[in-house]
Structure 1
């Protein structure tokens, strides 16, 4: 018996199994062997159930397992087909281009300190079974977190914020569990959730941050974890206001055991005060602060404060033979953070990013274009036109930008938006980009050159 799907003739009898797990495993084996390819259609539920002599619900459950695992896609009215390999948009410079790249989202290399400028104090080698947190960095971090978190917490050190978020989610969630994410959302958070097979639930972001109504909807939809950016949200640059943070705490009040992760990635550089969405009575929470934006992405260190229960589960994943962060690296970070020259450089960088972003937003405003930015490394621009058309027009004028759909969670939140990283541009280049963007938006509206 054959079923013609996706332009191919598929042999129904090649799928085997009596249980949902066995049927799903058979399909996965066919994919692994190359017998099934992306876009190939799977047999209709009724037909496969008849061929295998099983209940229709068994096949439905098998297809659901394949969809959760990312192996298949079920489209209402169009059946189930093999999913294409996942694609992940990453931050960073566009490869092999001669165009001016304002899409990258990087800090300014010239504002990052040279790690060789500090001298490490002599310390004995660290052996297996010893604390995974270096005492010097731990003392500095406890002081920093203690000023913002008036509750009991424990400290963990990870290899960057993404590593922290991935490990935090993995000790709390199972494959297919729902995670509330901001929409638009930071690229690496989207990737971390999708790679692990969790189900992202979008929560809209407005000028005050993640919306309380959106969070309530996500929690009602079964979200078992929430990832929120309290300051310098990427890509929009917005920070939580005190009133919005309080509203989000209220939304979480009936869900004290949902894991709340605050990704405070811009911390020491932020021009906004930190306002937490975690109330004093919330049971499961973590605050993540990376050093990547002010010491450099290559220093793979993030500091995590969390409730004792989360910290205990977290520690199991960190303390294995190769999973702790090198104490030499931790000591380098501590030496940099406590060096007065580096502290001055961090302060200067904070002023620079805010000034340059604000200046560029004003340049766009003068040209009738609305944008947000100030805190953070980026500008979030509302073009009022199709973002890809605007990006295409900008390429013709020598610029590469990031379209807003890269940050969207299957919604229209980025359809007319682009993100720019402009803090390295001098005055002339800023004027050139603002002019080019105004012309690109006008051309996109009229369809010129398309």
Structure 2
């Protein structure tokens, strides 16, 4: 960075310094990738305490304006495209990192369309269609603390929309939120865009770890986001033992908002275990229909305590105050059709069987990968995953490495791949397993 550029950074407080750098970035005076002064140099230049400069850079990093690179210093963040779920620009490569459901196992919506078209819905009417509400209460009621008759339901445009609005009504910028690590891509984006301080909670085979949650609560988190089943990307599901342990830890923090995103619900092969205790005061359970009724069915049901429901309704009121009643009726029609429910059950069994079969193929090549639950497989490799991914690209495969799912950058490369293999036929699955083993051998 030039001396002239250094001089234009101004401010006497962390907030003023952060605003100054942000303004320079927005005006183009600081280009993506530009190095910033060291903490010591900036503090001396502005005549402020070193901790003030540290706090300014930390604020900028949380907002995604800059990236801290340890001893390599701090740079303006590159305006690179952030990872998203779904198909990548694979070109001629076979994309096995999509995380998509199988379209042939998504129920046909056409039979329910005629019934979904009814009278127009006007402003001021109930935001939840009566039939859908009755169905949703049964869907979530048995898995909630307290009396099911007292539960509050809110509809949003999908699970990610629900999580975003729940965090927005509970957190302020720089507030801490506990997120699983490795983490669902959308949750990483939400924490960065919202300016929240993401506190990573490690995930093992039984789900969110007890020590990790305890540490996060000690860090003052105001919200916890947990995936009870088919954690993305690891496929882990809570066991009854782990859920009980997490409830015990949370019992001392009844006003921390606990969000359970049970996105896989109907498709899961594992039972649901809640980390929300009967005395917990701030909680929400989210269930979406997109994984089994199709990604275009952007509807999620959120059940929550009365205070959280009221705050969530207030958060929804300035913009989209309800989910389309046409979509609600269509969802109800699909989810009460015997043929559609049978296909959803078939889909859940299909995903589990294909993941297990591919894990067995990998085991034949000396690679152990627990099949877990969900649409994808979390595959450990003995070398940096990016080295394996590069070699797989030469063989015609596009995969996702675990680096994309980390909450915070680290110098230690990930040693996991996330593979979506349920749509591979027998020959393609054999070829991928063989190619993956060969890529690992080459990278060793």
Bin of the TM-score, shorter chain as denominator length? over 0.9
1:133 matched residue in structure 2: 128
SS of the equivalent of 2:417 reads: strand
Decide which of 277, 280, 286 is 1:279's aligned counterpart.
Answer: 277
CA contact (8 A) 1:403 1:414 kept: no
CA apart distance, 1:96: 4.5
Residue equivalent to 1:249: 247
**Aligned in 2, Cα 1:217/1:47: closer, same or farther, shift over 3 Å?**
closer
Cα drift, residue 319 of structure 1 = 3.3
What is the aligned counterpart of 2:317 among 285, 299, 319?
A: 319
Aligned position for 1:90: 84
Matches within 5 A, 1:200-215: 200-215=198-213
Distance in 1 (alpha carbons) for counterparts of 2:425 and 2:63: 47
What residue in structure 1 maps to residue 429 of structure 2?
430
Larger mean CA deviation between 319-328 and 382-391 belongs to 319-328
Query: Take 1:382 and 1:93, find their aligned partners in 2: how far apart are those partners?
Result: 22
Q: Which residue matches 1:102?
A: 96
**Per the alignment, in what secondary structure is the counterpart of residue 131 of structure 2?**
helix
Rounded to whole Å, the distance in 2 between the matches of 1:50 and 1:172 is 38
Number of equivalent positions: 439
- Describe the SS at the equivalent of 2:281: coil
Backbone CA RMSD of aligned residues: 2.3
2:34 alignment partner in structure 1: 40
Offset at 1:11?
4.1
Structure 2 gap segments, 5+ residues each? none
Q: Against the structure 1 CA distance between its residues 23 and 328, is the aligned structure 2 distance closer, same or farther, given a 3 Å change threshold?
A: same
Show the counterpart of 2:160: 162
- Counterpart selection for 1:340 from 334, 338, 341: 338
Question: Alpha-carbon deviation of 1:27?
Answer: 2.6
Distance in 1 (CA, whole Å) between partners of 2:49 and 2:246 is 45
Distance 1:158 1:370, change over 3 A: same
Partner Cα separation in structure 2 for residue 370 and residue 262 of structure 1: 29
Instruction: Tell me the equivalent position of 1:420.
Output: 419
Q: 1:401 — aligned with what? A: 399
What residue is the counterpart of 1:149 in the other structure?
144
- TM-score, scaled relative to structure 1: 0.91
Aligned partner of residue 273 in structure 1, secondary structure: coil
Instruction: Tell me the distance in 2 between the aligned counterparts of 1:212 and 1:113.
Output: 38
**Partner SS for 1:179:** strand
Alpha-carbon distance in structure 1 between the residues aligned to 2:391 and 2:132: 48
Deviation at 1:68, TM superposition (A): 3.7
Cα shift at 1:146 = 1.0
| One of 119, 126, 130 as aligned partner of 1:124 | 119
Cα distance, 1:122–1:317 mapped onto 2, change above 3 Å: same
